[in-house]
Amino acid sequence: MLDYAVKTRFGLARPRFSRPRRRARFVSSPFIDAPRLTTATGEHSMTKKVYVKTFGCQMNEYDSDKMVDVLGASEGLVKTDNPEDADVILFNTCSVREKAQEKVFSDLGRVRELKEANPNLLIGVGGCVASQEGASIVSRAPYVDLVFGPQTLHRLPQMIDQRRASGRPQVDITFPEIEKFDHLPPARVEGPSAFVSIMEGCSKYCSYCVVPYTRGEEVSRPLDDVLTEIAGLADQGVREVTLLGQNVNAYRGAMTPGSNEIADFATLIEYVADIPGIERIRYTTSHPKEFTQRLIDTYAKVPKLVNHLHLPVQHGSDRILMAMKRGYTVLEYKSVIRRLRAIRPDLSLSTDMIVGFPGETEEDFDKMMQLVHEMSYDTSFSFIYSPRPGTPAANLHDDTPREVKLRRLQYLQATIEENVQRISEAMVGKVERILVERPARKDPNELAGRTENNRVVNFPAPVESHARLIGQMIDVKIVHAYPHSLRGELVMVHDTASATH
């Protein structure tokens, strides 16, 4: 019998994108029969609301959306942007840097007054800080009701029920494989772009990073499971998906339910490109060690894969990369980029960089700057090294003064900003295809879209045309480059009912 991949690829069977059957212990869904939130008198409230504040990466943004989906399906909660209106306040946290972690406790202190004014208010801490700190969060902030990790957010309705029944804070930071995806309601989206998590965790164990300890080992969702979610998003009008994972290109998902055949990341991309309605594919975050030739070749095969890549290098010195336990050399990193740009000469490249890692010398930093000039980075998320408790690097001797680290960081960021502006100015006068995402933030008479190289373009459009244009692929002529956005003029709408303007 031909397998699913062969039958679908050659048109011998229609893509079903059916959710695979999983082991019996994953069958029931906690949001189906969970009790609804009640007031102190036990009566149902009409419009309960949930406020979620997100720290950190796109994975956390995705998880925050899922928290809202779960509580919407189980409790009828609706999202609010004002914590003072909320019946449930959740903080989805990041522990990659110390500053982000301390910000969580600062924000918790601000909502303490809301809890004192409304004892029925529920306050929860999720994400990586929750996974790392566990019950100690309640010890430090005893007004917190719920502590849950990235892998247990689907249990929120049960935790809320137990908190109401027992009167005691609930803590669940276990790693139940990838169970949460079996218990999440269908995604609800607003707008033409969406995040889709395809795997969880990290097995690289870089010496400075807490992610393997807070999110667990790498576990990939089955191919069919991912395609089901994306097909559902396309039915809601999504045109662009961003595939998410701590090391997204390490994806190795079961091809079909019960099959031992494994789909790699390149295969997944090819199937996503076949889903009707999906016009653009992005992904983040990738790891240089997992960048196979098959994935590189996909850039030639799949035009829907955008000309933008976020590939963290972390440093430009082999000595520092070895101390970081990154698993590649600068030459190997450059080889990946060289082969990619042989296929896509206009590929836009962004990266992550850590300045001031223990033992970093001026020579090491000079090598980092040399790499920056060679790669022509279009964006960089760069920070001073922040030691995280429990990681091997936290025990390394660090004798570089803070002011030296700050000087290096400022120089690095200024250099990359100059390159970003140079690339933006080179786009002026060119026609770029963008996906129209939303009204412009500063002018309601304008719309905003995004180019393939991930730049926001604002352009004037009559208000009466907004509903028609949002979600469309259009051509705009770039007329001005600002530090963090572009300005364009509408040229053409690419749609079956499009007209040239």
For 257, residues 6+ apart whose C-beta sits below 8 A from its C-beta are 20, 21, 222, 224
* Residue ranges in 314-454 assigned as alpha helix (H): 318-324, 330-343, 362-375, 402-427
In this structure, what are the phi and psi dihedrals at residue 432, rounded to the nearest 5 degrees? -120, 140
- Residue 346 has which token pair? 């206009």
Residue with token string 């920056």: 372
CATH architecture of structural domain 179-425: Alpha-Beta Horseshoe (3.80)
Tell which residue, 141, 136, 84, 143, has the closest CA to residue 119.
Answer: 143
Is 202 labelled a binding residue?
yes
Identify the H or E element spanning 161: helix 156-166
Query: Measuring CA to CA, how many Å separate 245 from each of 15, 96, 327?
Result: 24, 15, 18
Domain map of the chain by residue range? 49-172, 179-425, 428-490
Q: Which of 432, 435, 433 is nearest to 278 (CA)?
A: 435
Q: How many CA atoms within 13 Å lie on the side-chain side of 472? A: 21
Instruction: Report DSSP state, residue 16.
Output: -
> Which amino acid is it at 460?
P
Give yes or no for a contact between 456 and 486, defined as CB atoms under 8 angstroms apart. yes
List residues bridging with 49 in a β-sheet: 78
Which one, of 414, 345, 358, lies nearest residue 385 by Cα? Answer: 358
User: Same CATH fold, 428-490 and 49-172?
Assistant: no
pLDDT for position 150: 85
Closest listed residue to residue 265, CA positions, set 294, 285, 236: 294
**In DSSP terms, which residues pair with 147 in a beta bridge?**
125, 171
Closest-CA residue to 245 (of 215, 281, 276, 209)? 215
Distance of alpha carbon 440 from alpha carbon 456, whole angstroms: 10
Length in residues, the chain: 501
Tens digit of each residue's pLDDT, the chain (501 residues): 334 343 443 343 333 333 333 332 222 223 323 333 444 434 444 689 999 999 878 888 888 988 998 999 888 999 999 999 999 999 999 877 766 667 888 889 889 999 999 999 999 999 888 888 889 899 999 999 999 988 888 899 999 999 999 999 999 988 765 555 665 666 678 899 999 999 988 999 999 998 898 888 898 999 999 999 999 999 999 999 999 999 999 999 998 766 789 999 999 999 999 999 999 999 999 999 999 999 999 999 999 999 999 999 999 999 999 999 999 999 999 999 999 999 999 999 999 999 999 999 999 999 999 999 999 999 999 999 999 888 999 999 999 999 999 999 999 999 999 999 999 999 999 999 999 999 999 898 999 999 999 999 999 999 999 999 999 999 999 999 998 899 999 998 886 444 333
Write down the CATH number for the domain with range 428-490: 2.40.50.140
Q: Which pLDDT belongs to residue 176?
A: 64
What is the CATH code for 49-172? Answer: 3.40.50.12160
The helices-and-strands tally (H runs, E runs) of the chain is 15, 21
Between the alpha carbon of residue 458 and those of residues 327, 398, 494, the distances in Å are 41, 45, 18
What pLDDT does residue 177 have? 59
For residues 193 and 59, the answer to whether their CB atoms sit within 8 Å is no
Q: Which two tokens stand for residue 374?
A: 């060679």
**Distance of alpha carbon 223 from alpha carbon 255, whole angstroms:** 5
Q: Where are the beta strands (DSSP E) in 271-402?
A: 280-284, 308-310, 348-355, 379-384
Q: How far apart are CA 246 and CA 218, in angstroms?
A: 8
pLDDT of 24 reads: 27
pLDDT of residue 398: 94
Asked if residue 206 belongs to a known ligand binding site, the reply is yes
94 among the known binding-site residues?
yes
